[in-house]
Structure 1
Amino acid sequence: MTATRPLRTPPPARPARTGLLPWGLSAPLVVLLAVLFIWPVLLLMGLSFGEDGFTLEHYRRLLEVPLYRRVLGNTFLIAAMVTVLCVAFSYPVAYLLATVGERTRKILFVMVLLPFWTSALVRTAAWIVILQRNGILNSVLQSSGLTDDPIAFVYNLSGVLIGMTHVLMPFVVLPLYAAFRAIDASLVLAAQSLGASALSVARRVILPLTAPGVIAGATIVFMNAIGYYITPALMGGPGQTLISMLITQNINVDLNWGLAAALSVVLLVSTLVIFAAFQRAFGLDRLFAGGGGRGAAQPFGLQGRRSGGGWIAAAVGLVVLALLVAPIVLVFPMAASNSPYLQFPPPSYSLRWFANFFDDPKWIRSIWNSLKAASVAVPLSVAIGTAAAIGTSRLPARLRPWMETIFVLPMVVPVILLGVGLYYMLSPLGVLGSPYTLGLAQTALCAPYVFITVRAALKGFDPSLELAAMNLGAGWGTMFRRIMLPAIAPGIAAGAIFAFIQSFDDVVLALFLTNVRSRTLPRAMYEGVAHEIDPTINAASALIILFTILVLALNLIFTRRTRNA
């Protein structure tokens, strides 16, 4: 009898979670951020302690000079006021979204997301048109007899609060809505059955359960607000000077780089302290995913008819949504006005300002410069952001949060710091003034958005598909091309959309890294709004809004087709 040796079954392949592959996939984004983000910021920090030798003189001036102390106080006070306003206005909107039918919710979500995706510069310019002395709001008030003289709504504190709240409020609405949907409606029904009034239910049930969503949104808003530049610079007055504006003034006017660097360090440390405190208390996922937590067995909004207070909250939510959309909608009739002045309603309509936009070489050149910058930023961001997301998902669990933190830092640190740092680093190299240099710098801002969206897509990817492909002899590259890539394609497409809009909407980096010949469309619009609002800017704003809607529609169509395939 011949003995036969049993066949050995090879062990099943496992997704590569250790070894060099995860590090190799993550390395390009690490290198990019080290060169174009971390190093410029470190240069600023070093500059704040003196160029010729160590000194604390710049920090001493921040404490001793009343102007700097006042600006520091203004920055945190205005950021706190904007955060409170965003939370207050977001509650009725989130409640409304959580308590309507599915079809109505989709329409209302468009009203939230359209301003969220529309350029902040476009919205700021629209608010200036509405609020200025001869703007729409004053015209309505005077024509109705409510006021005799124009009211100063802009170029003061009210203008800054209105503009910044409008720009930043969606960051609270989205996580707060997720928190509402996570509330189990049975808790509300139980409280009502025990005799609790609507006010008691709101105070003792809804507010505590939605607190995580509020904290997540408020943290994002406050971190953005303390470093915000565009809206306060355009809609505020001398009394609303913020740290970011003082940094720019010390560079462009006073030529005091050391003091600008010290202000940058104060802004950086403040932001990182807030970010670290939130991450330690709640975790990084909560910051970007909202406060919803686990889904409820019976989602909020299915507990029955609204109370009287519920109807009031829903009505307030509709008014707030209308205010969110109003500046965007009003851009179109203003762009089609035939008047050389900003009048609403327009006395007559024509396409003269659109024709002026396409006939003026300044605007056409700025569009091409924006597209050139995006042609660098978007493909590079998609490639290295996707690779980093895949690589990070395969790192050991203890290392993954550290790598994720590094990758999302450009979304947290105020962009004014990156702009100043890159200007200081690149100026001696003679590479400024090129849209391609700008595009490379924008990659540091765009890649984290791709990383976040692809990481979210990977959480829905079934690892058994990867195991099956590799057990059948496919290499990792073949598996990625035929299995993983089709599965995460919607996430990559969404990341590309994020990257494109981030690049095309960038103003701050363009202000520091481009010149008159290489300025982008947002920079050209910013300069026009800062000096005198030419009606051509309304035409440019209308075109940007239409282009944004088109890009989002194409992304939605692509995502649906990919999911149905």
Structure 2
Amino acid sequence: MSEQGMSVTMRVGAERRPFRIPGGWIGVLPFLIVLVFLFLIPVATLLKSAFGDGAFTLEHFVRAVEVPVYRSVLLTTLTISGTVALLAVVMSYPLAYLMATSRDTTRNILLVVVLLPFWTSSLVRTTAWIILLQSNGVLNQMLMGSGLTDAPIAFVYNLSGVLIGMTHVLMPFVVLPLYASFRALDVSTVRAAESLGAGPVTTFRRIILPLTAPGVVAGAMIVFMNAVGFYITPALMGGPGQTMIAQMIANNITRELNWGFAAALAIILLAVALGLFALFQRIFGLERLISGSGGKSAEPFGTDHRRSPGGWVSVALGLLVAAFLIAPILIVFPMSLGSSSFLTFPPESYSFQWYENFFTASKWMNALTRSLQVAGITVAVSLLIGTAAAVGLTRIDRRWRGLIEAVFILPMIVPVIILSIGLYYLLVPAGLVGTIWGLALGHIVLASPYVFITVRASLASFDRNLELAAQGLGASWLTMFRRVMLPCIMPGVVGGAIFAFITSFDDVVLALFLTNVRSRTLPKLMYEGVAHEIDPTIIAASGLIIIVTVLVLAANLLISRKKP
């Protein structure tokens, strides 16, 4: 064939060959598009206003530095976050040790004690703590009844209330990786130290602490990253002296209408959060978030490990920490059954009137219906794009994976208050604020990363040879996915769906900005009630949420036990 004929043939072939996007990118692109339009653009637009609407200026940042109250708020935020991280670490050690050295039945009970608060609405837990710690609450009644105090102690609406509430919410992030680190310890190392005369303190300081440090540091950094952007717990359990930067940002939007200064504070908060995330990624990598921590040792900690006197002290402390985690949840049910309009524990008489009020009052049922509708949309969309992204990421070039994973994780790192204000700024002109779809869009951004992480973890144990064998036998990729891959990763998909549902159903911050009086969700309605005066119906709603959480947790545990 002549050169001219060959060139014509090549040109015709090129014209007929359609443009094809590599398979991996087809799965990744929907999630990326969602993040670009519903996360990156709203956040960037908000942050841009910090530098002035017209001419470039740094006056908002100068004000944040020069005005003492704003410096104080930033210092308070960092101090509270650091203290909460430290308390979470100190309290997690005895509980993690108890979990690692207990028999299977006891260990499973303790895991439920840790996981139930972890999955339960943070608003429910905060409400329970307010009831426990208020001047006529359970703790003060116990102290005065035992004669230890003559007058109520102020445990709430001050620093102690904020530290207790935030530590309770965030401590599972330390307990779980620390427990994995304990299980990865080789007990023979501890026995060798004890045989050489090392006491409990020396063994802990020279053996246990260094070997469990990576898991502890990782958990503490996750706690700190979450704590710097906390809004609900400090707003409900703290006083003016515990105002954190997220509250100051919201105040400048809702009361002062100063978008530029709120954006400047948001940039400061975002810089702290992203700096910590970059440090976390550099030290540990995203794999710790995706696949967890821990490993296997020759002879892990177990029930055959002899407990020293110090070990028995740790057991006692571990039981106290377990009681700390579960107590707020356990008191909700008895108090929700009380017949009095004044919340007391234990109730003097019992009645279902507050549950009846919940199911008969239109405002509560409308809020519940709206929350379920938004959660349903959120689960459906986030499952689709999160699962597709996790599968697609395994099929693209490795050089892109780290960057894409970091982008997918960003909504979990950036404080929710920043996303809320950014989406409000974006959705108001579109007329979506106050609608179910507007709130659902925000929840999709929050929930999809959890689906991505859980499915990605399941894919890590999927045998690619099964995929190749199915396709080698003539199955299309979709058939292979439906018949082979999906059943294998189903526990991760179900776990992602549960996380997505809880993320949406539990949200308060986005709902505060993206809903109005007619479109309130159940958490927002509960938040408004707690912020003013606790209606016993709120406790009944909390009890129902806990029941749903227990059922969902039980279903997830049953599914996770099934081996693909």
Structure 2 counterpart of 1:49, one-letter code: F
Given that 2:427 and 2:433 are in contact with CA atoms closer than 8 Å, whether structure 1 keeps it comes out as yes
Mapped partners of 1:503, 1:479: distance in 2? 31
TM-superposed deviation, 1:195: 2.0
RMSD (Å), alpha carbons: 1.3
Name the stretch that deviates more: 181-190 or 226-235: 181-190
Instruction: Report the counterpart of residue 114 of structure 2 in structure 1.
Output: 112
TM-superposed deviation, 1:366: 0.3
Mapped partners of 2:557, 2:297: distance in 1? 27
Mapped partners of 1:386, 1:288: distance in 2? 14
**Structure-to-structure mapping, 1:151-166, within 5 angstroms:** 151-166=153-168
TM-superposed deviation, 1:93: 0.5
TM-superposed deviation, 1:290: 4.4
**Structure-to-structure mapping, 1:195-234, within 5 angstroms:** 195-234=197-236
Instruction: Report the counterpart of residue 563 of structure 1 in structure 2.
Output: 563
Name the stretch that deviates more: 523-532 or 467-476: 467-476
Instruction: Report the counterpart of residue 3 of structure 1 in structure 2.
Output: none
**Over residues 2-35 of structure 1, what are the superposed CA-to-partner deviations in whole Å (9 max), with x where a residue is unaligned?**
xxxxxxxxxxxxxxxx961001100000000111
Structure 2 counterpart of 1:327, one-letter code: P
Match of 1:180, SS?
Answer: helix
Name the stretch that deviates more: 197-206 or 57-66: 197-206
**Structure-to-structure mapping, 1:381-392, within 5 angstroms:** 381-392=382-393
Instruction: Report the counterpart of residue 6 of structure 1 in structure 2.
Output: none
Given that 1:385 and 1:451 are in contact with CA atoms closer than 8 Å, whether structure 2 keeps it comes out as yes
Given that 1:217 and 1:290 are in contact with CA atoms closer than 8 Å, whether structure 2 keeps it comes out as no
Instruction: Report the counterpart of residue 309 of structure 2 in structure 1.
Output: 308
TM-superposed deviation, 1:302: 5.5
TM-superposed deviation, 1:554: 2.5
Structure 2 counterpart of 1:221, one-letter code: V
Instruction: Report the counterpart of residue 281 of structure 1 in structure 2.
Output: 283
The question of 1:67 aligning with 2:69 is answered yes
Structure 1 residue runs of 5 or longer lacking an equivalent are: 1-17
Structure 2 counterpart of 1:398, one-letter code: R
Instruction: Report the counterpart of residue 121 of structure 1 in structure 2.
Output: 123
Structure 1 counterpart of 2:563, one-letter code: R
Instruction: Report the counterpart of residue 14 of structure 2 in structure 1.
Output: none
Given that 1:466 and 1:479 are in contact with CA atoms closer than 8 Å, whether structure 2 keeps it comes out as yes
TM-superposed deviation, 1:201: 1.0
**Over residues 69-97 of structure 1, what are the superposed CA-to-partner deviations in whole Å (9 max), with x where a residue is unaligned?**
00000000000011100000000011111
Instruction: Report the counterpart of residue 4 of structure 2 in structure 1.
Output: none
Instruction: Report the counterpart of residue 89 of structure 2 in structure 1.
Output: 87
Instruction: Report the counterpart of residue 4 of structure 1 in structure 2.
Output: none
Given that 1:71 and 1:243 are in contact with CA atoms closer than 8 Å, whether structure 2 keeps it comes out as yes
Percent identity, please: 60
Instruction: Report the counterpart of residue 477 of structure 1 in structure 2.
Output: 478
Instruction: Report the counterpart of residue 408 of structure 1 in structure 2.
Output: 409
Mapped partners of 1:288, 1:218: distance in 2? 17
Given that 2:354 and 2:540 are in contact with CA atoms closer than 8 Å, whether structure 1 keeps it comes out as yes
Given that 1:250 and 1:256 are in contact with CA atoms closer than 8 Å, whether structure 2 keeps it comes out as yes
Given that 1:58 and 1:259 are in contact with CA atoms closer than 8 Å, whether structure 2 keeps it comes out as yes
**Structure-to-structure mapping, 1:137-536, within 5 angstroms:** 137-292=139-294, 294-301=295-302, 304-536=305-537
Mapped partners of 2:442, 2:69: distance in 1? 32
- Relative to the length of structure 1, the TM-score reads 0.95
Given that 1:133 and 1:152 are in contact with CA atoms closer than 8 Å, whether structure 2 keeps it comes out as yes
Mapped partners of 1:93, 1:395: distance in 2? 41
The question of 1:43 aligning with 2:33 is answered no
Structure 1 counterpart of 2:186, one-letter code: D
Distance 1:19 1:467, change over 3 A: farther
Match of 1:451, SS?
Answer: helix
Mapped partners of 1:301, 1:482: distance in 2? 39
Instruction: Report the counterpart of residue 23 of structure 1 in structure 2.
Output: 25
TM-superposed deviation, 1:205: 0.6
Structure 1 counterpart of 2:149, one-letter code: T
Name the stretch that deviates more: 300-309 or 441-450: 300-309
Structure 2 counterpart of 1:506, one-letter code: D
Mapped partners of 1:290, 1:306: distance in 2? 28
Given that 1:373 and 1:440 are in contact with CA atoms closer than 8 Å, whether structure 2 keeps it comes out as no
Mapped partners of 2:346, 2:188: distance in 1? 50
Match of 1:399, SS?
Answer: helix
Structure 2 counterpart of 1:89, one-letter code: M
Mapped partners of 2:552, 2:183: distance in 1? 29
Given that 2:427 and 2:438 are in contact with CA atoms closer than 8 Å, whether structure 1 keeps it comes out as no
Instruction: Report the counterpart of residue 16 of structure 2 in structure 1.
Output: none
Mapped partners of 1:435, 1:149: distance in 2? 48
TM-superposed deviation, 1:192: 1.7
TM-superposed deviation, 1:347: 1.1
Mapped partners of 1:152, 1:185: distance in 2? 44
**Over residues 221-275 of structure 1, what are the superposed CA-to-partner deviations in whole Å (9 max), with x where a residue is unaligned?**
0000000000000000000000000001001111111110001110011100010
Mapped partners of 2:240, 2:114: distance in 1? 32
Mapped partners of 1:296, 1:559: distance in 2? 23
**Over residues 289-315 of structure 1, what are the superposed CA-to-partner deviations in whole Å (9 max), with x where a residue is unaligned?**
4442x3111102356310000000011
Match of 1:411, SS?
Answer: helix
Given that 1:445 and 1:502 are in contact with CA atoms closer than 8 Å, whether structure 2 keeps it comes out as yes
Mapped partners of 2:462, 2:199: distance in 1? 45
Structure 2 counterpart of 1:549, one-letter code: V
Mapped partners of 1:213, 1:437: distance in 2? 38
Structure 2 counterpart of 1:563, one-letter code: K
TM-superposed deviation, 1:515: 0.5
**Over residues 164-206 of structure 1, what are the superposed CA-to-partner deviations in whole Å (9 max), with x where a residue is unaligned?**
0000000000001111111111111221222222211110110
Given that 2:103 and 2:302 are in contact with CA atoms closer than 8 Å, whether structure 1 keeps it comes out as no
Given that 1:74 and 1:242 are in contact with CA atoms closer than 8 Å, whether structure 2 keeps it comes out as yes
TM-superposed deviation, 1:360: 1.1
Structure 1 counterpart of 2:257, one-letter code: L
Given that 2:434 and 2:516 are in contact with CA atoms closer than 8 Å, whether structure 1 keeps it comes out as yes
Mapped partners of 2:555, 2:340: distance in 1? 34
Structure 1 counterpart of 2:248, one-letter code: L
Name the stretch that deviates more: 69-78 or 353-362: 353-362
Mapped partners of 2:76, 2:235: distance in 1? 14
Length, aligned pairs only: 545
Match of 2:489, SS?
Answer: helix
Instruction: Report the counterpart of residue 12 of structure 1 in structure 2.
Output: none
Structure 1 counterpart of 2:329, one-letter code: I
TM-superposed deviation, 1:288: 5.0
Mapped partners of 1:356, 1:148: distance in 2? 37
Given that 1:490 and 1:559 are in contact with CA atoms closer than 8 Å, whether structure 2 keeps it comes out as yes
Mapped partners of 2:269, 2:396: distance in 1? 32
Given that 1:213 and 1:290 are in contact with CA atoms closer than 8 Å, whether structure 2 keeps it comes out as no
Structure 2 counterpart of 1:491, one-letter code: G
Mapped partners of 1:555, 1:272: distance in 2? 32
Instruction: Report the counterpart of residue 546 of structure 1 in structure 2.
Output: 547
TM-superposed deviation, 1:428: 1.9
Mapped partners of 2:291, 2:94: distance in 1? 20
